């Protein structure tokens, strides 16, 4: 079974304690897509919720080694939604790209992918389009997909309906290609065409996976691309065994 690494997100409980979590909807969707989840936990000894992005210390060599050990166990990495990005997330993404591990970024995860090898620049939503819906079981606004993009090849449509649960949009992404825009002109999807599968989308296909065909196409394609890596690993292990006979 294909193994998908998912970095856990962090938040405060009602009593103030900090927790790491994996959303229940994402867990169920990965199981329906026949993927085995490998939780990837943050490696630094600090309170991620109470530490500002500019105050995160640089990762030590030992902490980087832990992240690389996680990546040895996975065939793909899905960067989920959340409320904060850390140096841990950025190093994890860099290593995925360097090791040609397929990545899918959702919402905050797409915003992380958009900042690959450059600093963040985010824009708060100021639009009549509903980017912060409350109901999980509906699609809220249209997204136009750029032809000749990876996303277009996956969905094969010029325009789709998507859900939306965010306050900020990507301002720029110089090291990625924009592949989708919302009706109000905001960036809704990005990709890279060199190396392994690299796709980021602002909406949440894991939430609409059960009732929306386009969402299933995105998740299932990511799983298939990760499965190719898994099969390649098995082949790499098998060949030396055969040569020893």
Catalytic residue at 206? yes
Q: How far apart are CA 35 and CA 224, in angstroms?
A: 10
Element (DSSP H or E) covering residue 36 = strand 35-40
Q: Where are any strands of DSSP class E within 158-244?
A: 159-162, 168-170, 177-182, 187-191, 198-201
Residue 105 near residue 201, CB atoms below 8 Å: yes
Measured between alpha carbons, how far is residue 31 from residues 8, 26, 206 in Å?
17, 9, 11
Catalytic residue at 107? yes
- The active-site residue, picked from 107, 131, 166, 188, is 107
Helix orientation angle between 61-72 and 87-98, rounded to the nearest 10 degrees = 50
- The active-site residue, picked from 131, 166, 169, 204, is 204
- The active-site residue, picked from 63, 188, 191, 206, is 206
Catalytic residue IDs? 107, 204, 206
């Amino acid at each position: 079974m294909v193994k998908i690494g998912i970095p856990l997100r962090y938040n405060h409980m009602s009593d103030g304690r900090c927790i790491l979590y994996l959303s229940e909807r994402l867990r169920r969707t990965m199981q329906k897509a026949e993927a085995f989840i490998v939780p990837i936990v943050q490696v630094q000894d600090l309170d991620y919720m109470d530490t500002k992005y500019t105050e995160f210390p640089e990762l030590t060599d030992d902490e980087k080694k832990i992240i690389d050990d996680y990546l040895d166990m996975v065939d793909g990495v899905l960067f989920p939604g959340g409320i904060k990005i850390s140096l841990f997330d950025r190093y994890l993404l860099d290593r995925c790209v360097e090791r040609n591990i397929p990545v899918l970024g959702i919402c905050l995860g797409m915003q992380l992918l958009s900042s690959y090898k450059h600093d963040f620049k985010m824009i708060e939503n100021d639009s009549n389009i509903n980017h912060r819906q409350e109901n999980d079981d509906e699609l809220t606004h249209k997204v136009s997909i750029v032809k000749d993009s990876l996303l277009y090849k996956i969905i094969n449509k010029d325009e789709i309906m998507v859900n939306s649960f965010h306050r900020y949009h990507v301002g720029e992404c110089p090291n990625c290609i924009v592949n989708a825009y919302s009706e109000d002109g905001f960036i809704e999807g990005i990709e890279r065409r060199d190396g392994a599968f690299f796709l980021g989308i602002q909406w949440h296909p894991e939430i609409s996976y059960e009732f929306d065909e386009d969402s299933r196409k995105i998740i299932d394609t990511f799983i298939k691309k990760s499965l190719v890596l898994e099969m390649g690993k098995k082949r790499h292990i098998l060949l030396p065994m055969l040569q020893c006979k």
